[in-house]
Amino acid sequence: MVEAKSLTFRFPESSDAILEDVTISIRPGRTILSGASGSGKSSLLALINRLYPENCDGILQGRLTLLGRSHDEYKPGEINQQVGTVFQDPDTQFVMGRVEEELIFTLENLATPVEQVDQRVTDILESLQLNDYRHREIDSLSGGEKQRIAVACALVGKPEWLLLDEPLTHLDPVTAYRFVEWLDKVNGLNVIVVDHRPHIWGDFFDWQIGLEQGRIVQNEPFQSVDDFTFTRSIARQEGEERYMVEEVVRDSFQLKSTTLQVRQGEVIAILGPNGSGKSTFLRSLTNGDPRVGLVPQSPEHLFFMDSVERELQFGHEEAIETVLVDMALHEQRHMHPLSLSHGQKRRLAVGIQSLSNKSLLAFDEPTAGQDEPSLHALEALMKRHAERGQTILFVTHDLSFANIANTFYLMKDGELSGPYGDDLWQDAKKLRHYRLLGGPDVTT
Amino acid sequence: MSLHDMNPTIKFATFTLIMFGLALFYNPWTPLIIIVGTLMIQLMATDVSWKKWSLFTIPFLITALGTFWTTLVFGKDLGGETWVSILGQSISKQEFAVAVSLSMRVLAFTVLSLLFMLTTDSKRFVMSLMQQARLSPTIAYSALVGFRFLPLMQQELHQLQYAHRLRGVPLNTRWERIRHVPKLLLPLLAGSIRRAERIAFSMEARGFTGGKRTVYERIDIKPTDYVWSCVFFLLFGLSIWAGI
């Protein structure tokens, strides 16, 4: 399907190549493109569905043949009849209000004769077992359901290929597992998936292509892999502190009040699926307690000044030099906080908190969408602060990363249970009950 | 024959013409007849919630009263016999008539606009503009995406305010929140641009290029649409006659 020969690609504003001397041939079947952030895998995908190079004025050299024709022979939108795409963010893929309208929108774009539209919508929903969703409002669906609808929209035009760009990023492990299981049942589909954490996909793929800094480093039959490994924090734990988490009642959801007993240097993971109330828990914990610092899922939400220096200096008179060096941000001190990389933003967020002497650092879903180096950087950062006697608490549905914690709590329907120690991992029944483990159906 | 089913473009054109027409007549009776007639149509041919309608009307009612009062007190002195005297200001009958005309006109505009707003589905309006008024699909669907983005932006605004409050920015009173708005604009804008880019890619990947496309849901012009149009123009004619 895709034949690339000595392909080089770069953005006009930079002289660094995003892809360099890429020679590959992607055959029918299921292929995964993996690699760290910035390895060029997403750009390669965008070249395949022809969003690039036009939309970014990118500069492309070498030969790229798509479905037997040179890439530049396609008119805009033409290849999208044969190639359907699903993107990573479930919230920015839809134009219309209801599922049916969204499918119709796609069929209209493909100039499908009006008398066929109704049947095509029925057919695709039936073949994907999504009949029940036909008249649902898209905004009322969960992330996993939205991704299935996105697949339906991509497939309704009967493409030969389906491309998925990190489709599991915003899903919790059980939802992600179910999504893969469901996709596995769709017959005769040629798939190219971009993902930097292939383990969730099990043995879904036939072929794997690995990229590193724009170059192909792996091009071979797929072998399922284990997830990245993380090791427990060994920081010394001492003292004891109590934090109140007050009750929150909103619509039909209720967060029960609890008191959290923690030790300095302890690393705590709060585990639970999407929608279990983890974020509400964090809000209630941070609300009004000056000892607690929060690093939001998007660290840039904390920033509102126009340079790193001013950001760190906001609201106090203390010297910021040590923190700047400590967080390896001294070279970026005059840059705008919003122009930093994700890792730098996170360090800046932590730096802000350490200047205000927080005794507990809370992280909201810090692992979402992070690649391996970035996860290990996060691991190191958390451990370092634990060793300095701060308490680290993070909410996540990432079970591998949770391994760095000393203590675990589980969250379901607004109720917190715990603390648990290591033995939690042997208790598969409990993990299933909390929708943290895939596999057989959840029984309660 | 509910007004909800009337073709949105025809409805829009009709109402716009009447509003422009209203601006040419300078007496209290023409707008008054329009107000009464519109409300009667609203009562008989729609299922608009009157509670919602009343809430929407409040700000316009205040505007109308304001117009009335300022015209009366600060308006040009038209001379003539003193009719009544308010706060030491002598007001003639002509001056009073001008003030009533102006405030009635404000109310007539309000009543017509609200009838349009409350009986027209925004999605159907955009679709109809695309089909009857040759609005380009690129603009039309961008508008629809815009509607979907508003709740997302609101959500992001709340997240930002929450995070900034945690950093010690005082955001408790209304004045403090307003003063902080400039600091929120850049992050909000950055977020919106990122979302807009993603949705644009997503639309293009689904074959939306502004080129040839079919139209599944036809919003046609029915004979009843013209009937409705005639009803409104008759009402307008009646109001002109009443004003002479």
Contact B72, B95 (CB under 8 A): yes
- Segment A135-148, tens digit of pLDDT: 999 988 888 899 99
**How close is the nearest chain B Cα to the Cα of A337, in Å?**
10
CATH superfamily ID and name for A238-433: P-loop containing nucleotide triphosphate hydrolases (3.40.50.300)
Name the residue in chain A with its Cα closest to that of B211: A109
Average pLDDT in chain B:
90
* CA–CA distances in Å: residue B128 to residues A125, A342, B42, B214, B242: 28, 44, 22, 14, 34
| A window 306-345, beta carbon within 8 A of B | 314-315, 338
Say whether residue A303 is in contact with chain B using an 8 A CB cutoff: yes
Query: Residue A128: left if φ>0, alpha if ψ -120 to 50, beta else—which one?
Result: alpha
User: Higher confidence at residue B222 or residue A244?
Assistant: B222
Min Cα–Cα distance to chain A from B148, Å: 8
Distance, in Å, from the CA atom of A65 to the CA atom of A67, rounded to the nearest integer, reads 7
- The C-alpha angle A279, A271, A432, rounded to 5 degrees, equals 130
Which residue in A217, A172, A298, A299 sits closest to A36, CA to CA?
A: A217
**Interchain CB contact of A77 with B (< 8 Å):** yes
Q: What pLDDT band is residue A444 in, cutting at 50, 70 and 90? A: very low
- Single-letter amino acid code for the residue at B114: L
Going by their DSSP bridges, the two strands A207-212 and A215-221 should be labelled as antiparallel
If you measure CA to CA, which chain A residue comes closest to B164? A302
The residue of chain B with its CA nearest to that of A337 is B187
Place of tokens 């209203």: B22
Indicate the length of chain A as a whole number.
444
Q: What angle do helix axes B50-74 and B93-119 make, rounded to 10 degrees?
A: 160
What are phi and psi for residue B37, nearest 5 degrees?
-60, -45
- Residue B235: predicted pLDDT: 96
Contacts of A294 in chain B (CB under 8 A): 163, 166
> Which region, left, alpha or beta, applies to residue A129 given φ > 0 means left and ψ of -120 to 50 means alpha?
left
Tens-digit pLDDT profile for residues A330-385 = 888 898 988 888 888 888 988 888 887 788 999 988 887 788 888 898 899 899 88
Rounded mean pLDDT of A108-112? 92
pLDDT value of position A187? 81
* pLDDT mean over A105-119: 94
Give phi and psi for B111, each to the nearest 5.
-65, -40
Interatomic CA distance for residues B100 and B67, integer angstroms: 9
Report helix, strand or coil for A84.
strand
* pLDDT tens for the 244 residues of chain B, in order: 688 999 999 999 999 999 999 999 888 899 999 999 999 999 998 989 999 999 999 999 999 999 998 888 887 777 777 777 777 777 788 888 888 999 999 999 999 999 999 999 999 999 999 999 999 999 999 999 988 888 888 989 988 998 898 888 888 888 988 888 888 998 999 889 989 999 999 999 998 987 788 999 899 999 999 999 999 999 999 999 998 8
Please report the pLDDT score of residue A217 as a whole number: 93
How much is the pLDDT for A443?
A: 44
**Cis check: omega of the bond before A419, within 30 degrees of 0:** yes
Nearest to A76 among B159, B164, B209 (CB): B209
Interface test with B, best of A301, A311, A338 (most B CBs within 10 A): A301
> For A163-217, how does the pLDDT look when each residue is reduced to its tens digit (9 = 90+)?
999 998 888 888 888 899 999 988 888 999 999 888 889 899 999 999 999 999 9
pLDDT of the residue at A257? 86
**If you count them, how many residues does chain B have?**
244
Average pLDDT over residues A262-269: 92
Helix (H/G/I), strand (E/B), else coil: A162 = strand
Q: In the predicted model, what is the mean pLDDT of residues A287-312? A: 87
pLDDT for residue A438: 67
- Tens of pLDDT, residues A5-31: 999 999 888 888 889 999 999 999 999
Residues 180-199 of A with CB under 8 A from B: none
Could you list the beta-strand ranges (E) of B28-185: 82-86, 89-92
Spell out the CATH class of A2-221.
alpha beta
pLDDT (mean) for A34-57: 88
Token pair for B124:
């159907």
Higher pLDDT, A250 or B105: B105
Residue A286 has pLDDT above 90, yes or no: no
Alpha-carbon distance of A55 to A50, in angstroms, equals 9
Dihedral over Cα of A94, A95, A98, A104: its sign: negative
Q: Nearest-CA residue of chain A relative to B167?
A: A302
Q: What one-character-per-residue DSSP string does A371-400 give?
A: -HHHHHHHHHHHHHHHHTT-EEEEEES-HH
Q: Collect all residues of chain A within an 8 Å Cβ-Cβ radius of residue B167.
A: 302, 314-315, 352
Nearest residue in B to A158, CA atom: B206
CA–CA separation, A317 and A249 (whole Å): 39
- Average confidence (pLDDT) over A272-287: 85
CA–CA min distance B143, chain A (Å): 10
**Residue A174's pLDDT is what?**
85
Ranges of CATH 3.40.50.300 domains, chain A: 2-221, 238-433
Q: Do A105 and B206 touch (CB under 8 A)?
A: yes
- In terms of Cβ atoms closer than 10 Å to its own Cβ (0-12, 13-18, 19+), residue A182 is middle
A139 at the B interface (CB within 8 A)? Answer: yes
CB atoms under 10 Å from CB of B89, counted, come to 13
Question: Does residue A440 register a pLDDT over 60?
Answer: no
Per-residue tokens: A202: 């099990």
Which region, left, alpha or beta, applies to residue B225 given φ > 0 means left and ψ of -120 to 50 means alpha?
A: alpha
Asked if the Cβ–Cβ distance from A96 to B202 is below 8 Å, we say no
Chain A residues whose CB is inside 8 A of the B161 CB are none
Which of A87, A114, A139 comes nearest B202 by C-beta?
A87
On whether the CB atoms of residues A421 and A250 are closer than 8 A, the answer is no
| A237/A391 Cα distance (integer angstroms) | 9
Confidence of residue A441 (pLDDT cuts 50, 70, 90): very low
Q: How far apart are CA B75 and CA A119, in angstroms?
A: 66
**What is the C-alpha separation between A110 and B207, in angstroms, rounded?**
6
Nearest to B183 among A51, A283, A304 (CB): A304
Strand partners, A66: A2, A69
Is A61 within 8 Å of A18 (Cβ atoms)? no
What is this model's ipTM?
0.86
Return the SS3 of A289.
Answer: coil
What confidence category does residue A270 fall into, taking pLDDT thresholds of 50, 70 and 90? very high
Give the chain B residue nearest A104 (alpha carbons): B216
The beta-carbon neighbor of B201 closest among A81, A87, A112 is: A87
